[in-house]
Chains A and B, each alone.
Chain A
Amino acid sequence: MNDRVAIIGIGWSGYRRVSPDLSYKEIIYEAALKAYNDAGVDPRKDIQTFVTVAEDFHEGTSIFDEYTPDQLGAALKPMHTITGDGLHGLATACMLVKTGQFDLVALEGHSKASNIRTLPEVTAYAQDPILNRPLRFNSNFIAGLEMNRYLFETGATLEQCAAVVQKNRLHALRNPKAAFGAELTLDEILAGPPISWPLGKRDLAESADGAVVMVLASESLARQLSDKPIWVLGIGWCNDSPSLESREWGELPYIQKAAQIAYRQAGFRNPQGIIDFAEVDDTYSYKELQSLEALGFCLPGEAGILTEDGATAFDGELPVNASGGSLGMGHLLDATGLTRALEVVLQLRGEAGLYQLEEVNVGLAQSWRGVPTTSGAVAVLAN
């Protein structure tokens, strides 16, 4: 068995609102080429197994895993597809290395959201076909219900949610990869219009196109190949109830459990004082607050106050989504969590450029698979 796993190569392509000039294969190829060059490996000779994350209905292809190998250099190699978030893919890559059977793994996630003409209808098709689909719920409607419950249970305010949007989109201005950087006032954000009250138009992340590829290695190989390996200290993932009728709406027990698993592997219980910065899910503004509480950075109801106080801003005590998050960079479908992890790696390597945080050693990435799922993952990375 290999005990430790490191990320030794990263590559990305994007992120843009639309990319009519490129196919999904081309954006993946670009990201893969960068990652392989970054790690100094040849995919045909060196990489032993490949993992991708994708969902059929996002791709418009049945059994999409057919089209995963060529652009990664994975033809006639062990390769498989996880229908999960990029962090589920990261967990898979880590497990493959930890078995001792593999020393070098490549992982890919992508979004070509601009190709999907009916994204709201597609996501709504994830609801229970018997109990919920006949009610014709829109995904954002369900998010509105959840937001309402969260605000009710914790006393968080609309202004605090708006402060998340303001912060992340401001952060995105420093990130050249981010498509949605903006300087907005709270009033502009609160002006909506409402999508599903209390959820306003600016509370939700717009989708974007892009791809992320990572190369992971066992400890011995990582030390040979890389002078700045980023270690995966812990990774956890969890599901709660998939049915809308029998789940918690105010809090996120699946993120709590995923975090517990990741923290236990990393050897701590409480992230406060250990984690220097976080890239968390902000598919909707309130989700960042809910996630921070589930991750144990503060008590329920406190995340909004911390945000208003600037504690989660770029220069705060715990910078959250310094990259801009999904609100600032765009939501990347199944690659969303992998993008969060990529941003953590860039910070830990000191390669974040204009938005580089000072003296950071341990970072956290967290993801959620979107409405109507209760599926999330947490990774703790360190340099």
Chain B
Amino acid sequence: MTMRKVAVIGAGMTQFVRRAQETPKELTWQASRMALESCELTLDDIEAVCLGTAPDSFDGIHMNGEYLSDGAGAWRKPYMRLYVAGGTGVFVPIQGWYHVASGLFDVVLVVAEEKMSSYYPHAQAAFLTIFDHTTERPLKPNLLWIFALEMNRYMTTYGISKADIARVSVQHKHNAADHPCALLGDPKITVEDVLNSEVLAWPVQRYDVSPVSDGAVAVVLAAEHIAKRITDKPVWIEGVGWNLDTAHWTNRDLVYPRYVEYAARMAYEMAGIKEPKKEIHIAEPYDPFDYKALHHLEGLQLAERGQAPQLYIDGTAARDGNMPVCPSGGLLGVGNPIAAAGLMKIAELFWQLRGEAGARQVPGQPRRGIAQAWGDLMQVGTVVIMGR
């Protein structure tokens, strides 16, 4: 069966910052406008709008998708909002993909927004209500604790050192120094700096973690016949995959993200990829924590289990390496406005594959890239493969 081809034809993103002065609506508007201008379209050309934003509690608005709708350009248009928590940013282009691939629409605007700073004093409090109301919430778990559990499990199982994991944070923050929208780019940070940072919940230290941020990103998707008319450099969505595991996260072996593997296999199959390690030229795995990038590279079948740190040690993951990982700077460097951070990875692949990434450009004219996000209770993987 032949499937309708869908291309990314434009992208835009706001600065990722700690405390945006703009309202959530204004952030979505800024990103949407930039995406449209990048491909010289106007809202009149847009047939439907897809929006991704994680919990309503960040913006503190019930039915937040409805509130954001006109900011995202959805006035008198078909409009839907979806979420799979942290996985949302890479899922919302999948939602855009099925809007177009279904044949119902030809040009779709895909927007992701997150404003975490409205949650005062700290967005962490919004995560207290993600846990099971009967079995977990009474224990008042903090999100950092469960990351600490997972990181510990990963380190202990494979005998990985803190210093090897810190390399991820260092490299991503170095990369982000070249990103004009980045919040935490730092060309000078060292592994020692990471290892000497404040301990939050052992083994998680401050520089192992991406920052709480505000921002929005938008991309424009189009069907093949439209895409070819608008640009001579369309970037095709070659494969999509997503997978959600049980809510009983405590029953899972946290050492390996099986849900990411299943999502990746779905996307590889659709893209016709047999050997991911050879056929993927750029990887943008989800990196809210430094160990998470490693964890996800293994789930994506881009590294053997327990071997992902090697990619950073031998330089494979560097921007000029064989398979650059997070050339954007990732969440650790660019920032982590949750849903927007995932879509930032899609925008990065778009710019990289078109050769428009400026100082961040990966050498050697990469042909294919993969973006992945993760979310919920160690539970969901979302994967998009893009190629030119």
Contact = CB atoms under 8 A, between A and B. Distances in A.
A126 B60 CA distance: 9
Given A75-B245, A99-B101, A83 B3 contact: no
Contacts of B54: 63
Interface in A237-294: 237-243, 253-254, 257-258, 261, 265
A241 B75 contact: yes
Interface string B237-258: 0000111111110000000001
A134 interface: no
Interface stretch (B61-69, B321-329, B358-366): B61-69
A375 B66 contact: yes
B365 to A, nearest CB: 29
Interface string A61-94: 1110111111000111111111110001001101
Contacts of A67: 132, 247
Nearest to A81: B83
Contacts of B148: none
A126 B273 CA distance: 44
Interface in A339-383: 369, 372-375
18 contacts: A62-B126, A62-B130, A63-B376, A66-B376, A76-B259, A95-B99, A96-B102, A100-B3, A101-B3, A101-B98, A123-B62, A238-B78, A238-B79, A239-B66, A239-B69, A375-B66, A375-B69, A375-B79
Contact of A100 (B1, B241, B246): B1
Contacts of B281: none
Q: Choose among B82, B263, B266 the residue with the greatest number of A CB atoms under 10 Å from its CB.
A: B82
A253 B76 contact: yes
Interface string B207-218: 000000000000
Contacts of A129: 59-61, 67
Q: Choose among A55, A66, A241 the residue with the greatest number of B CB atoms under 10 Å from its CB.
A: A66
B51 to A, nearest CB: 9
A259 B266 CA distance: 35
B291 interface: no
Interface of A: 1, 55-57, 60-63, 65-70, 74-84, 88, 91-92, 94-96, 98-101, 122-123, 125-126, 128-130, 236-243, 253-254, 257-258, 261, 265, 369, 372-375
A83 B130 contact: no
B1 A83 contact: no
B249 to A, nearest CB: 8
B85 interface: yes
Contacts of A63: 54-55, 83, 85, 130, 375-376
Contacts of A261: 78
A79 to B, nearest CB: 4
A101 B266 CA distance: 10
A62 B102 contact: no
Contact of A55 (B1, B62, B129, B246): B62
B312 interface: no
B140 interface: no
Nearest to A79: B244
Contacts of A62: 55-57, 126-127, 129-130
Interface string B32-45: 00000000000000
B91 to A, nearest CB: 6
A91 B61 CA distance: 25
B84 interface: yes
A80 B55 contact: no
Q: Choose among A99, A122, A253 the residue with the greatest number of B CB atoms under 10 Å from its CB.
A: A99
B79 A239 contact: yes
Contacts of B85: 63, 65-66
Nearest to A5: B102
A38 B324 CA distance: 50
Cβ-closest 10 pairs across A and B: A98-B102, A95-B102, A75-B246, A63-B85, A99-B101, A125-B62, A126-B62, A62-B55, A79-B244, A57-B62
Interface of B: 1-4, 23, 54-57, 59-70, 74-85, 91, 95, 97-99, 101-104, 126-127, 129-130, 132-133, 241-248, 258-259, 262-263, 266, 270, 375-377, 379-380
B3 A78 contact: no
A68 B244 contact: yes
A6 to B, nearest CB: 15
A69 B82 contact: no
A68 B130 CA distance: 13
A70 B132 CA distance: 13
Contacts of A61: 129-130, 133
A95 B104 contact: yes
Contacts of A258: 78
Contacts of B101: 1, 95, 98-101
B98 A65 contact: no
A240 B98 contact: no
Given A66-B376, A77-B244, A79-B244, A237 B66 contact: no
Nearest to A128: B67
A80 B84 contact: yes
A82 B76 CA distance: 19
Contacts of A369: 63, 66
A369 B244 CA distance: 27
A99 B239 CA distance: 13
Contacts of A122: 62
Given A81-B82, A253-B76, A1 B1 contact: yes
Given A63-B54, A81-B82, A70 B248 contact: yes
Nearest to B66: A373
Contacts of A66: 85, 130, 247, 376-377, 379
Nearest to A96: B98
A262 to B, nearest CB: 11
Contact of B81 (A82, A94, A257): A82
Nearest to B375: A63
Given A95-B102, A130-B23, A77 B243 contact: yes
A1 B247 contact: no
A65 B79 contact: no
A1 B4 contact: yes
